[in-house]
Each structure stands twice: as structure tokens, then as C-alpha cells.
Amino acid sequence: MTTDLGMPSSGPGAPGAHGTAGVPRLTDGTALTKKDFTSDQEVRWCPGCGDYAILAAVQGFLPELGLKRENIVFVSGIGCSSRFPYYLDTYGMHSIHGRAPAIATGLAATREDLSVWVVTGDGDALSIGGNHLIHALRRNVNLKILLFNNEIYGLTKGQYSPTSHVGQVTKSTPLGSLDTPFNPVSLALGAEASFVARTMDSDRQHLTSVLRAAAEHRGSALVEIYQNCPIFNDGVFDVLKDRTEAAARILHLADGEEVGTAETVVVRDDRGSLAVVPRAEADPARIVRHDESAHDPSAAFALSRLDSPDLGHVPMGIFRNVQRPTYDDSLREQIASARTGEVTDADIDALLAGRDTWTVGA
Amino acid sequence: MSAKLVQKLDRVVIRFAGDSGDGMQLTGDRFTSQTALLGNDLSTLPNFPAEIRAPQGTLPGVSSFQLHFADHNVLTPGDAPDVLVAMNPAALKANLRDLPRGAAIIVNTDEFTKRNLSKVGYVENPLDDGSLDSYDVHPVALTSIAVEALVSFTDLTRKEKERAKNMFALGLLSWLYTRPMDGTEAFLKAKFADKPEILEANLAALRAGFNYGETTEDFAVAYEVAPAAMPAGTYRNVTGNVALSLGLVAAAHRAHLPLFLGSYPITPASDILHTLAGLKRYGVATMQAEDEIAGVGAALGASFGGALGVTTTSGPGLALKAETIGLAVSLELPLIVCDIQRGGPSTGLPTKTEQADLLQALFGRNGESPVAVVAPATPADCFDVAVEAVRIATTYRTPVIVLSDGYLANGSEPWRLPRTADLPDIAVEFATEPNAVDDKGQPTFHPYLRDPETLARPWAIPGTPGLEHRVGGIEKADVTGNISYDPDNHDHMTRLRQAKIDGIADTIEPLVVDDPTDDADVLVLGWGSTFGPIAAGVRLARATGARVAQAHLRHLNPFPANTGDVLRSYQRVIVPEMNLGQLAMLLRAKYLVDIESHTSVRGLPFQAGELADVIATAVASVSDVPLKEAAK
Ligand SMILES: Cc1ncc(C[n+]2csc(CCOP(=O)(O)OP(=O)(O)O)c2C)c(N)n1
Ligand code: SF4
Ligand SMILES: [Mg+2]
């Protein structure tokens, strides 16, 4: 049996609404600065950790939202990356390993007036918390999930993670890791995510543009951020930080544009698979133009499969950005349409009594 | 009207038993409603298989529903049925050993076929071989008479007609015990509103059953059980799970907090999720999570945001929630965790009752992680305990574990309705202003600055300007809440968290002892769902002249302040529990009193008679006065 969910046609949950609709904004003429989002806590990541750059980018970006600071909440799990909330002067919760998406779901579902962000690591999100991550994405809870991917367990001092490449030698895999890694973008797309993007700690401008798009999106947004851990997995993304190498490897995803580099371009073969070919050899009819709002996630998924362990080609940017009802808006809508006004003592009395009562006289 | 004799009884215990597809739970429920409306006091015990549909006609497929009703106060569903309604040979075989000699058995003879008999290992038909001679057997061809009564329903298949046999049985029992059937008729009309043919067939079968009783010679007498003298008020019949659900809603209303339930289905707790999911009108939000960890996580997230976060589960789920409950202990946020206990360990006995999660509730987390624990005593008491749990959680900013169990969850009893306005006022105040000044003399907020009285920390919810702060599971400095690895601070905070929970004892009622003669040497102390059987056992024992005191713990952590004094004032203290002595162990450790543990883990509540014997033996050992022969 299906039933009309009574989807909101206006208000914060309306189709196409802004991700922060319903969150109180600063009054006109006032603005916050990066400093307003900096807490008094000493930042304790290792020198050179990519987390610093991400923190700076987020602190620099948040004022742009124009939201009241007290209506922003960061919820994290456990890991180096998950210390993040302590350094932001917003409301925050440093929770337990892997559970932040679940905790944030309860918060977002009950508080439409909050902008809720989740900070998680590759181990936190994809190992212990894999189940919560996929379900938060499937439900499309209005959460912005920042997944700091350093392909290693940082906090526990260097064991391999579910994104470490096969054969990676770490403390717990002295002869090389055996298991196939997750591709976080493919995983998120497979979990019905409505917004999926990838960016990098060192590219402040790109990172900020992705944060902006994620914040605008109403629904769950998964943002994978390549992050360098100089202590336990130094340099895994270095080829993407070198200007010439990056130009040859990064496939920039821009809505409506061809996907490729200066020299190469992505084409689709007869079976729908994608390949990166030199521009000169590309059949113009087969060149892939990116459509981030395509309803069918297959094209975005195919793009995510262009990754290779040697970082030969790395799509960067927004893979998918589609509108569908969010769990939290829909839940609030169900409640709102069931309500008949303020609940009074008399309403509760009637609820307690139910249908079959009898009275015993004094 | 009937020219038959009507005889008065003071109490009756009926057990309806049949195949799980026979509708015995519904039949029992309806008979209970009719009985409640008549004003009898009552108590019920459904008992069903773990399998949804075990093979038809087999012993594992037997489902039963027991009801005890009386013209006086009723404490348990009754030790032994006076009447068994057996819808097939399996139902007879599975239940016969519980029947005292002389009990009445109403059997559906249609199902006593060779095939059905052999399914349960009957070589001879017990209805013919004399093995039931010491019972008062009433053979009734229930199925065929019901089908016969529905001849005019030409659109219904034989199967559909056969399905109405439970209504026929209900009609017959309604006649036998003079119960009005209007309630059931109204119920059927609502249930089958869009299936008029099925509705009419059910109504016809119900009336046919009633008329059969009136006309057949097999039933010479009808019985009446007069209403019980109950305190004045408006009543309804309620199961523990429904009472618990309603208690949560009423308490959230009194606390002016939106209720958020995060839950993962598990027997016997799922009905709370079902009930609350239907109460959106009252602002209740429910989320069926991906697992128990997410259920409690979402509830904690909701609490962080200023809602009343609730999660419901059974033992295996409580195990999964442990880490998150520990986080809630550290965050010092309100959280309600309802554990509807069932037989364990592991999957154990999903549909059977047990109270073996007490130690898990108290200690099943890493580190020193104290939480408040409360337990309802009866199905209706689940309401009051839910309200009390919410009071403690919101006042002390702590997780509270409610330990109900399968017996309370599905059992029912009359409940005198409270008035919402009379429930405790538990309105919560969120923090709205800075509560300290920083080194620069600026106003600031210290999330762990405690209320001197309750030791509770302020509840400052996101959206409150100026109180932005971070909380987490890492140890935090007293007052400021900043991360701290300082040894002395950790020692201090660990003791503070314990002291906060211990301090709850200041606001709970003392342990009350029921000792009519005021000179008993033996105390029987229980907790949770054993209340009814213990009270019934005590009543039986007192009827033989035994001087025995009874007390029951609602608060398992902390214990009421006078608990030690009470325990020490008796020569012998007996603690019956449906586990291997968990409360007994706690009491011995804490109060150094030589508790005598009496335990049973059969998946079923204690029997009053069994407890009466235990009490009688204990009383005899400390008294010179001989007891009368028990009037059983
Ligand atoms: C229940 C539980 N299991 C294990 C740990 C230990 N632990 C803490 S962080 C972590 C892995 C963190 O890796 P990742 O999520 O990639 O974060 P990073 O430190 O790399 O930022 C582990 C295994 C824990 N804190 N809790
Ligand atoms: S261990 Fe790695 S990820 Fe963790 S703080 Fe140090 S550099 Fe950063
Ligand atoms: Mg990592």
C-alpha cells in the first residue's frame, strides 16, 4: 500500500528549497568573520596535517552562510578529524566512533532551525560507521557530511583503513593490506545520496566552492575531502598537488561542461562505460558532458569508477546534485499535518482513556 | 431468556488455547474487554510462540491467552486455569499439565482427527480413551457448528467460515460467564467496516456461540462474577507496552518537550514503536532506525537539541546501545532507554519473560558509568514508571533505563486513569544566559557548572545565543567542560557523576513495607514484574496465619535511602527473581545482609502457590506458631 505523504509544497521543505531554509539568519547589516567561528581551544593536530587547511577553509566559509552562529552544529565521530568541532565556536558534539550520522539525524529531525554538519574520517565513516552513513544518505537527512579521507587510521597511529589501497604496508599490514578499498563516492552514489562531491584539503578555493554547493543543497551531502596525514600516510595525494601532475590527472566536474583535462577527455563507449582518451582521438559525439542533476545516478557512478589506485585520473567536484524529499522535512510534515493545534491536557486525558472505559462510582 | 441456572463465582481463570492461526489472542483480548467493562478486576497473560506460523496443529504452534477475573482484587493471571478452551489436540496436549483435576475443558472436537492427533503424538483420541475422566470435558463441534450457522453466507468459502470459529467460541464463553457482547460487536464493526460480508459472518458466529450455550444441554449452568470493589474512578484495560507509551507521551507533555523515539524493532518491545508511531497528532516523532545503535544515537541527538530522546528495545538491543548510553552519561543529557526484557542470553526466548538484564542495565558499559534504573511492577504501573523515568532524566540530565519485561509488556489489567493535570509538574528550564565570566571579565558559559542541589549541569540547546559550546565523550574539566586528561580531575569527575546518580535517592519515595501485623520476621522483597505473583503468594501465606512482610523496589539505582534499614530489620529476607539472583547479589554487596535468593528462569512468571510455599517454609523456621493448612 502506498499513501500520499503530503509532501510540503512550500516552506523549508519545499522542492528546491535552500539547504539552510528555516535556519535563522543574521539581521541585515551584520556579518560574522572567520574569527567568530574560532574557538578558544588550542588546535592539537600534528604539524602539517591537512586538517588545518580544512579547518581554515570551513572557518572562512561559514560567515558566508549568513546564519546565526548559535544555529550551526557540528557533530563528529572519533578520529583525528573528529576533533574538528572543538575548534569551531559553534554548538558541537564530539561523539563516539562511527555514530555521528545517526546522532545528527536525531538532531536534524527535531530541529529544523539548525544547520547540521557531520565531520568524519575514512575509518569512522566507512568502517565502524558504514551502516549509519549509508542510511543517512538513503534517508536524505539534511546533513552536510565532511569525510576527511587520509586513507589511514590516524588517531590510532597508522593502521590501514577501508580506503587504503591494496598492498598498503601499515602497522597492522606489514606484508601489505589484502582487501579491496571502498571508493567513497561510488559507495555514496550506491546508497542513493542526493549530493556527492570530492575535493582536496590543499585547494582552498575548490573546497570552499564545494562547501557552498553542499550547504545550498537540501538533503544529505557527502563531501569527500582528500586529506594528507604527514605522520602515517604522507604524500598519498601529492601527485594531485603538483601543478603539472594535477593538470594531467584531475578531471574537473563542472555542470554542463565536458569532463576532461587540457589534453584528455572522457568518452562513453557503446556499453556505457567511460574512458579517458586524448582529445585528438575523441569522437565528439561520445564526449561526456557532466549533468550533476541527472536523475539516474549511473552516469555519476561511471565517473566515480574512473578512479585508479595510481591516481591516474581523479574526477573532482560535484558528481551528483539532485532534489528529492528529505527525511527530516517529511517527518516534520507528517507531524504537522496530523496535528490539530496545541496539545492540551484534555487531549492527553482523551488519549489515555482510549475507547473502552468504565466508571466505578464513589 | 435463559431458563438455566445462574451460579455466582468469586473468581475464574480461563485459558484460551489454539493454533497460532486460530485467533486466540484476539479472542482473549475481546473476552478481557468485555470482562473489564463489567467491572471485574483482572489480569491477563498472553503466551505465544516465537515463530509467526509454526506448522499448523503442532505443539510449537500453540498460542494461548490466560485471563483471571474476580469480584475482588486480582494480582496475577492465576496459577492454574479453571477452564481450558482447546481448539485442537495440540492445544489440549500443551496445556493439560497446567490444569488441576476437575477443571473444565471445552474442546473443539472437529479438530480431533486421526491426522491431527498423530501430529502431536496421541495414539488414542484422549476424548474417548478415558484419560480425561477426572476433568469436566465439554466436547463441542465448534468448527462445524460455526460453519453451519453461516450457511446463508453463500459468498464465503468454507475456509472463511471456519475462520469465524473463534468468534463462536467467544460467544459461547460470553454466555457461560454472562458477559455483555456489545463491546465486541462494536469492535468488529470498526474492524471490518469495509468488509460487510465478513463482518456479518463474525457477528453471526458470535451470536450463534452465545445461543448455543443457552440451548445446549451440555452446559447446565451459566456463571456470574460480580464486579470487584475498586476505588472510584474511570478505568480502562491496558497492557504494559501501551501504558509505557502513554506514560512517555504524558510525561513529555508535562515536561513541555517534544518526544522523539529512535528504535529498531525487537520482540517484545516493538509495540511501543507501533503505538508511538501512531501518535503524530500529539507531536510525537518516531524513527525506525537502521539498528539499535542508530536508534539510541538519534535519540541522544534529539536530546542534545532539546527534545525528550527515547529509545526502546530488549536485551540484545540494550547490549548494542551500551556505548551510546556511556556517551550520554558523559554528556550528561536526558535519555530514556526502555528495555523490555526477554529470556536470554543471545536471542534466547524472544517471546518469553525474564528479568535477567538488571546487571546489564546497571553495569553493562565501559568505565564507571552510573545511570538511573527503574522498573514497573504491573502493566498499569508502566505508565507511572515512564513518568518517573522522565522526571529523573530531565531533572538530573542523565540516561534512565526502564526495565519492563515480556510479562508486563503483553499482560494487561484495569487501570484507573490519572488526570493529566495531576501528574507531576516536570517542566524543564533550558539555560538561556551565560553563567560565568572569563579571565577577561566577559560573560561566558560553563556547560559543566552544576546545580548545587541536584548536581545536574545546565541543558543549553543549540539555537541559544552566547552559549555555544562543545561536548564530547572525552573526559572534561569540571565546570568548563574543556577536554582534560588531568588525573585528579578524572577522579573528581568520576565521583561527581556517581554522586549525582546517588543523589537521586533524595527525591524518591522511601521503600514502603506492607506488614499488616507489624511483627513479621520474614520480608519478601521483589522488583519489577514479580510484584503480582509475590503479592498473591504473600496473600496465600497470610491466609494460613503466616506473618510475612512485603516490599517492592521501583528504583534499582539508586535504591531508596531506607533500603538498608528495612533489610536489616527482618530475620530473613527472601528475594524472588526471574534470573539467577541479580538483585540479591546487589543487596548483599551493598548492605551486607544475608539475602535468600529464590529464582526461576522458565520464561514464565512465578506462580503464587510456589511463592506461598517458600514463604511458609521461611516463616515456619523463625516462628513457633504452627500455620494452618493452606487453603489452595
Ligand atoms: C568503539 C571504538 N573502537 C575503536 C576506537 C579506536 N579508534 C579511534 S579513531 C579510530 C580510527 C580513526 O580513523 P579515521 O576515521 O580514518 O580518522 P583519522 O584519525 O584518520 O582522522 C579508531 C579505530 C574507538 N575510539 N572506539
Ligand atoms: S596523525 Fe595524521 S591525521 Fe592525525 S593529526 Fe597527525 S597528521 Fe593529522
Ligand atoms: Mg583516516
pLDDT (tens digit per residue) in B500-524? 999 999 999 999 999 999 999 999 9
Nearest residue of chain A to residue B37 (CA atoms)? A358
| In the predicted structure, residue B106 carries a pLDDT above the cut 50 | yes
**Residue B48: predicted pLDDT:** 82
**Residue A4: predicted pLDDT:** 54
User: Residue A16: pLDDT band by 50, 70, 90 thresholds?
Assistant: confident
- Given a contact cutoff of 8 angstroms between Cβ atoms, the answer to whether B462 and B510 are in contact is no
* Per-residue pLDDT tens digits for B326-352: 999 999 999 999 999 999 999 999 999
Query: Cβ atoms within 10 A of the Cβ of B416, count?
Result: 13
In the DSSP assignment, the letter for residue A352 is: H
Please give the Cα distance from B407 to B45 (Å, whole number): 7
Cis peptide before A8 (omega within 30 of 0): no
| In the predicted structure, residue A308 carries a pLDDT above the cut 70 | yes
Across residues B223-251, what is the average pLDDT? 96
The three grid cell numbers given for residue B470, joined into one nine-digit string: 562543545
- Surface of A (27-46) touching B: CB under 8 A: 39, 41
Nearest C-alpha of chain B: how many angstroms from A200? 26
Find the helix or strand (DSSP H, E) in which B604 lies. none
Instruction: Report phi then psi at B525, rounded to 5.
Output: -120, 130
Across residues B483-503, what is the average pLDDT? 98
Tell how strand B548-553 and strand A91-94 pair up.
Answer: unpaired
* End-to-end alpha carbon distance in chain B: 36
B232 and A360 in contact by Cβ < 8 A?
yes
User: Residue B3: pLDDT band by 50, 70, 90 thresholds?
Assistant: low
* B233 Cα distance to chain centroid: 22
Please give the Cα distance from A303 to B456 (Å, whole number): 52
- Residue B420 backbone zone (phi > 0: left; psi -120 to 50: alpha; other: beta): alpha
Across residues A216-231, what is the average pLDDT? 98
Q: Considering Cα of A333, then A339, then A344, then A345, what sign does the dihedral take? A: negative
User: Residue B1: pLDDT band by 50, 70, 90 thresholds?
Assistant: very low
A105: which chain B residues are within 8 Å (Cβ-Cβ)?
A: 287, 294, 297-298, 301
Please give the Cα distance from B595 to A261 (Å, whole number): 79
Q: Is A350 an 8 Å CB contact of chain B?
A: no
Helices (H), chain A: 50-61, 100-110, 122-123, 130-139, 184-190, 204-216, 243-249, 298-304, 327-338, 345-353
B420 and A331 in contact by Cβ < 8 A?
no
**Residue B621: predicted pLDDT:** 92
Q: Which of A42, A84, A152, A231 to mutate to test the pocket of ligand 2 (most atoms within 8 A of CB)?
A: A231
Q: Whose CA is closest to atom 8 on ligand 2? A: A49
Q: What angle do CA B156, B162, B168 make, to 5 degrees?
A: 110
A331: which chain B residues are within 8 Å (Cβ-Cβ)?
A: 285, 287
A342: which chain B residues are within 8 Å (Cβ-Cβ)?
A: none
Cα torsion through A29, A32, A33, A35, rounded to 10: 140
* Per-residue pLDDT tens digits for B5-15: 899 999 999 99
DSSP A186-199: HHHHHTT-SEEEEE
B463 and A347 in contact by Cβ < 8 A?
no
Tell how strand B233-239 and strand A357-360 pair up.
Answer: antiparallel
User: Residue A9: pLDDT band by 50, 70, 90 thresholds?
Assistant: low
Nearest C-alpha of chain A: how many angstroms from B612? 31
User: Residue A220: pLDDT band by 50, 70, 90 thresholds?
Assistant: very high
Please give the Cα distance from B185 to B187 (Å, whole number): 5
User: Residue B632: pLDDT band by 50, 70, 90 thresholds?
Assistant: very low
Across residues B557-572, what is the average pLDDT? 98
| In the predicted structure, residue A126 carries a pLDDT above the cut 70 | yes
A24 and B463 in contact by Cβ < 8 A?
yes
**Residue A14: predicted pLDDT:** 73
Please give the Cα distance from B471 to B473 (Å, whole number): 7
Residue entry with cell 578520529: A79
Q: Which of B379, B405, B406, B376 is nearest to B388 (CA)?
A: B376
Q: Which of B420, B415, B479 is nearest to B444 (CA)?
A: B479
Nearest residue of chain A to residue B380 (CA atoms)? A352
Q: What is the pTM of this model?
A: 0.95
* Per-residue pLDDT tens digits for A186-203: 999 999 999 999 999 999
Please give the Cα distance from A177 to A168 (Å, whole number): 5
Average pLDDT, chain A: 95
| In the predicted structure, residue B95 carries a pLDDT above the cut 70 | yes
**Which residues are B503's β-sheet partners?**
none
Cα torsion through A77, A81, A86, A89, rounded to 10: -110
| Cβ–ligand 2 contact at A49 (below 6 Å) | yes
The three grid cell numbers given for residue A25, joined into one nine-digit string: 539568519
Average pLDDT, chain B: 95
| In the predicted structure, residue A47 carries a pLDDT above the cut 70 | yes
The length of chain A, given as a count of residues: 362
* End-to-end alpha carbon distance in chain A: 49
Nearest ligand for residue A128 CA: 1
B366: which chain A residues are within 8 Å (Cβ-Cβ)?
A: none
| Cβ–ligand 1 contact at A151 (below 6 Å) | no
Across residues A17-27, what is the average pLDDT? 96
Residues 6 or more apart whose CB falls under 8 angstroms from that of B129 comprise: none
Number of H helices, E strands in chain A: 10, 11
Among B236, B249, B281, whose Cβ lies nearest the Cβ of A339? B281
Please give the Cα distance from A250 to A314 (Å, whole number): 5
Q: Which of A52, A76, A78, A148 to mutate to test the pocket of ligand 1 (most atoms within 8 A of CB)?
A: A78
Helices (H), B60-164: 89-96, 114-119, 142-149, 158-162
Nearest ligand for residue A48 CA: 2
A93: which chain B residues are within 8 Å (Cβ-Cβ)?
A: 301, 304, 331, 470-472
Across residues B273-284, what is the average pLDDT? 98
**Which residues are A225's β-sheet partners?**
A148, A199
| In the predicted structure, residue B51 carries a pLDDT above the cut 90 | no
- Given a contact cutoff of 8 angstroms between Cβ atoms, the answer to whether B530 and B355 are in contact is yes
Across residues B432-445, what is the average pLDDT? 95
| Cβ–ligand 1 contact at A122 (below 6 Å) | yes
**Residue B378: predicted pLDDT:** 98
Per mean pLDDT, which range of A351-360, B50-59, B121-130, B386-395 is the poorest? B50-59
Radius of gyration of chain A (CA): 23
Percentage of residues in chain B having pLDDT higher than 70: 99
